[in-house]
Structure 1
């Protein structure tokens, strides 16, 4: 039986996700920015949350966890490294651990950078990876706690996944990210096409998340810091990949 993924808009520009296993009826909620939209999305489909998977400790990803857990009895899962600053966990996980949501298995990938304890959840059987504020649509999260080297390493872990993976990231920042990306690679035809599609989607009120990993690798400047043409565009020929990534991140922070 197939997996089903539902994108749930929350707050002003956050997303939660539902991952439902049709065979067993199990359903994971990935991040809970606020409880009401998540509970409404579950109720509208007749689903019950069996798991809540937390990517990182920021309030705009966890402040609804306790209410959804209380309403559903879901098992709350999050990073062992961040257990001291997450909502109470039923299961603490680390790199390589696996979580079974009915017939769907998710693997934990540690992706420090945005925060030190950030994790992503890869679900090969569903063809999706839940990345929150690590890899984002045409972007990546600010480095609030980690270093450029940590974030670059995290992004390269994610980039090694199959190109057809759905990247389920945590915010609707894509249009602004596209404007910035065009300052790095204004002549990238794939980026120009994607920027136009993103603008049209937002004008029509459609979400731009999730995206495909292959498309991110072709257009997202934060995944392209190793490429000669990007280094050349920045006047950083010969620089190492981390230094180029750090420059791109610094430019985005000022954008």
Structure 2
């Protein structure tokens, strides 16, 4: 009898591991639909979809270990980070998926809403919010849509040695700003950006990546607080926002 491991659980979604199978329970059926479609067309290693019986999606585990975790130094090699960059570039160069992604208007509206909430609830100093919102403006420009993962957290990229063995959790995939993926993967691991870009290529816009570090941290904080996570844990979103203040 295989043990059941709870990977993540909150009011919107739960992910369980039973042996080599992940069971994803989601109250929004659109997430599983996007994930299955993205996995079927993504040109990089992904899990295999085993079956889908709403609200449960079953996928295979991928070999290897996550590139790292938020709040702790990544022990992955420079070559592994470069391999991740090369894989992301391959995804971004692939044909656009045929479903819509988030628009610039959507991002601007979300930033406005979340900054207002952060100010109203005084979870951070107002100057920290104001300065990071100012930094985030560099990301709020028209972009050429690319096929992006959309939630490319460091725990979603798996490596074995210096090779990428799989990228998981594709429910936010779609056309979008490729710099957002690069920023999400290096959030809290800014020191590994050069390693990532060694594999991705020289045309990444570092100023936009830095802007997305601020923007993503601002818009994610309320959701994390309301779902039992701590954005003020060492190395996490609040630390990212404070570090932007020191760098400015």
* TM-score class, shorter: 0.3 to 0.5
Return the structure number with greater helix share. Answer: 2
Per the normalisation by structure 2, the TM-score is 0.34
* Relative contact order, higher structure (CA 8 A, sep 6+): 2
Per the normalisation by structure 1, the TM-score is 0.33
